[in-house]
Amino acid sequence: MAAVGYSESMKVNWNWIGYSSAAGATAVCTLAGLAMRSRFDLVNIAMVYLLAVVIIALRFPRGPAIAASVFSVAVFDFTFVPPRGRLTIDDVQYLLTFAIMLAVALVISRLVESIRHQASAQAALAIDAETERIRSALLASISHDLRTPLAVMAGASSSLAAGGERLGEEERRALATSVFHQAQEMSEHVAKILQMTRLEAGAITVERDWVALSEIAGAVLTRLSERLKAHRVIVELPDDLPLVRVDATLIEQALGNLLENCAKHTPAGTIVRVFARREGAEIVVTVEDYSGGLSDRDLERVFAKFQRGTVEGGGTDIGLGLAICRAIVRLHGGRAWAERVPAGGTAFRFTLPFEEPPAVPAESTVT
Amino acid sequence: MILIVEDEPDIRRFLRSTFDLEGYRVVEAASGRRASIDAGTHKPDLAIVDLGLPDIDGVEVIRRIREWSPMPIIVLSARVQERAKIEALDAGADDYVTKPFGVGELLARVRAAFRHAVRTASGTSILRLGTTVVDLEKRSASRDGAEVHLTPVEFRLLIALAKHSGMVATQRQLLTEVWGPTHERDTHYLRIYMKQLRDKLEVDPVQPHHLLTETGIGYRLVLDE
């Protein structure tokens, strides 16, 4: 609703500027005409007005264009056409001048309008093409990332069901465990697809609350401890890092997706550093890895949906993690991006707006 | 005996076989109405309640049970039911497991709930968190043998967490228990005092082992046996 209100008021404003410009242009032409009067024919002065009408029609909608032609005709008649000082016409040929001015205003308005229309239709087509690209990427993604675990689950569980008693203890356990792991992975994929869909549909409400980033980081590291166990994660959060007013669950996802991304796309043993600091009106959160780093092209590309970057070891990432991270951060009024670390590696950063946290009443330390 | 309130027959089946294997007796209820009756007639020791029941709301089932019984209640919820989960916990549920879950996770919750019941019954006031020992009654704490000073509010917060030890305490529960009902939305109090407690009691305050964060929901105090 807010967006509609905004464009409505923009439109009103724009029209108002159009009409004032029409009046202004007429005034300028009149001054020019007065200066020209001694040396030029009236027809040439009319041409000056015509130029003004053309310019207004090009820049503004039809209303101001018509206004410009009406103003021009009226002022031209009043100021230059004999009998001067009156809105009457003696010479029929000036009627033709007026008609032409009006026609020019209308024709140009029409032309400009249709060009604008085509441009927006083209933009809509481009959006359709993008939607189509995402849709096919989604389908490709679903068919690969969901079919593989489904195939494993169907195969392993049917094998257990059909001849479980003939299989060795170890084999049985291995089959059952793979069903469990694939199911967990698929659940993650589905959750991400759902989350992205909800974020894009604007179906997510941000429930802001005062949150400590150290707690969020702690919860993320606990949740991802298994996946990050081969990496060396260093957390550096200053003791005086202010609380942030965010949706804890969403920011946990955003930070978690950055760390998951590191776990998936960097080799075992990679050092991953998580840190945050206040920079003016923003809190900047960074997840930095020291392994190779992305190409310039990939730095931005990785945040697009269903992009896995071109780094090796793509694994089974559905390619939504960073897109979700960016969408969540934007919902909070922040930015998310990646940049290369001079030492070799990639820093994924996001910002959150800084707000002065409310005070907590001091407690007497005497027991 | 464990009461399972779940409308999906397949989920009831694997829950039953899991608990059978672990030596628990099981009563199954496929609806909220059935659950209220079964809870009254069978007097189970613990209830597992799915939040997405076809007839009455799982939260309502929890309220009805809580009217007469302190039995531990563990909630099963889908990922999208974040708000319902908090509502259920505030209504008296003790813990939750998010679907889809492995039975290992659920069994751990069930064991923690029973341990908590035993702890409460024994009336012990000693909390063990790694090398940190807290005596709630004497209001003293030590870490690696050295005395640690806790402020009165820090103690009250620890007591509130211990009331739910091994299980989840929601932000609202902690705020009302420590600061009173007028402060039930002042979550920034919790952030500051939880940090203070972790700094004093945890080896690594950012990656705690005992004072855990349940993001968006509350906290969980995990004690050593």
In angstroms, the CA A289 to CA A265 distance is 10
Please judge whether B206 and A235 are an interchain contact, meaning their C-beta atoms are less than 8 angstroms apart: yes
Query: How many pairs of residues across A and B have Cβ atoms under 8 Å apart?
Result: 71
pLDDT, tens digit (0-9, with 9 covering 90-100), for A189-214: 888 888 888 888 888 889 999 999 99
User: In the structure, what pLDDT confidence band is assigned to residue B8 with cuts at 50, 70 and 90?
Assistant: very high
pLDDT, tens digit (0-9, with 9 covering 90-100), for A264-290: 889 999 999 999 999 999 999 999 998
Is the pLDDT confidence value at A367 over 60? no
Using a 10 angstrom Cβ sphere, with 0-12 exposed, 13-18 middle and 19 or more buried, the burial of residue B79 is middle
**Closest partner residue to B153 among A235, A357, A363, by Cβ?**
A363
User: In the structure, what pLDDT confidence band is assigned to residue A6 with cuts at 50, 70 and 90?
Assistant: very low
Q: For Cα atoms A230, A235, A238, give the angle at the middle one, nearest 5 degrees.
A: 180
Q: Which of A178, A214, A221, A244 to probe by mutation at the B interface, max B CB count within 10 Å?
A: A214
The radius of gyration of chain B from alpha carbons, rounded to an integer in Å, stands at: 18
pLDDT of residue A148: 83
Count the Cβ atoms, other than its own, within 10 Å of residue A235. Answer: 17
Residue ranges of B 22-81 with Cβ closer than 8 A to chain A: 79-80
Minimal C-alpha gap between A120 and chain B (Å): 37
Is the pLDDT confidence value at A366 over 80? no
User: In the structure, what pLDDT confidence band is assigned to residue A60 with cuts at 50, 70 and 90?
Assistant: confident
pLDDT of residue B96: 96
**Closest partner residue to B151 among A215, A235, A363, by Cβ?**
A363
User: Does residue B138 belong to the interface with chain A, where contact is any CB pair within 8 Å?
Assistant: no
Arithmetic mean of pLDDT, B217-223: 95
CA dihedral B180, B184, B187, B192 (to 10 degrees): 0
Query: Does this complex have an ipTM over 0.85?
Result: yes
- Residue intervals of chain B classified under CATH 3.40.50.2300 are 2-120
pLDDT, tens digit (0-9, with 9 covering 90-100), for B128-160: 999 999 999 999 999 999 999 999 999 999 999
How far apart, in Å, are the Cα atoms of A297 and each of A293, A301, A340, B209?
A: 11, 6, 11, 41
Buried b (16+ CB within 10 A) or exposed e, A16-53: eebbebbbebbeebbeebeebeeeeebeebbebbbebb
> Peptide bond before B181: cis, by omega within 30 degrees of 0?
no
Q: Which CATH superfamily is domain A209-353 in?
A: Histidine kinase-like ATPase, C-terminal domain (3.30.565.10)
pLDDT of residue B224: 87
All residues of chain B having their beta carbon less than 8 Å from the beta carbon of residue A186 are: none
Residue with the bigger pLDDT between A303 and A251: it is A251
CB of B16 closer than 8 Å to CB of B28: yes
| Top CATH class, B124-221 | mainly alpha
Arithmetic mean of pLDDT, A2-25: 68
Q: Which residue of A has its CA nearest to B104?
A: A180
Token pair for B216:
């968006």
Helix (H) or strand (E) holding B214: strand B211-214
User: Does residue A290 belong to the interface with chain B, where contact is any CB pair within 8 Å?
Assistant: no
User: Does residue A215 belong to the interface with chain B, where contact is any CB pair within 8 Å?
Assistant: yes
User: In the structure, what pLDDT confidence band is assigned to residue A342 with cuts at 50, 70 and 90?
Assistant: confident
Domain ranges of chain A: 2-121, 146-200, 209-353
Q: What are phi and psi of A167, to 5 degrees?
A: -85, 150
- Residue intervals of chain B classified under CATH 1.10.10.10 are 124-221
Q: What are phi and psi of B212, to 5 degrees?
A: -90, 150
pLDDT of residue A193: 85
Counting Cα atoms < 13 Å in the Cβ hemisphere of A207 gives: 11
CB of B5 closer than 8 Å to CB of B49: yes
User: In the structure, what pLDDT confidence band is assigned to residue A3 with cuts at 50, 70 and 90?
Assistant: very low
User: In the structure, what pLDDT confidence band is assigned to residue A110 with cuts at 50, 70 and 90?
Assistant: confident
In angstroms, the CA A340 to CA A75 distance is 64
Is the pLDDT confidence value at B43 over 80? yes
Q: Which CATH superfamily is domain B2-120 in?
A: Response regulator (3.40.50.2300)
Token pair for B173:
């529960």
User: In the structure, what pLDDT confidence band is assigned to residue A253 with cuts at 50, 70 and 90?
Assistant: very high
Is the pLDDT confidence value at A313 over 70? no
Token pair for A299:
């730095």
Residue with the bigger pLDDT between B28 and A142: it is B28
pLDDT of residue A288: 94
Token pair for A307:
């992009």
Please judge whether B191 and A247 are an interchain contact, meaning their C-beta atoms are less than 8 angstroms apart: no
All residues of chain A having their beta carbon less than 8 Å from the beta carbon of residue B193 are: 360
Q: Which residues contact B163 (CB under 8 A, 6 or more apart)?
A: B169, B177
User: In the structure, what pLDDT confidence band is assigned to residue A310 with cuts at 50, 70 and 90?
Assistant: very low
Minimal C-alpha gap between B189 and chain A (Å): 6
User: Does residue B195 belong to the interface with chain A, where contact is any CB pair within 8 Å?
Assistant: yes
User: In the structure, what pLDDT confidence band is assigned to residue A1 with cuts at 50, 70 and 90?
Assistant: very low
In angstroms, the CA B184 to CA A109 distance is 61
CB of A116 closer than 8 Å to CB of A108: no
In angstroms, the CA A204 to CA B151 distance is 40
In angstroms, the CA B120 to CA A55 distance is 85
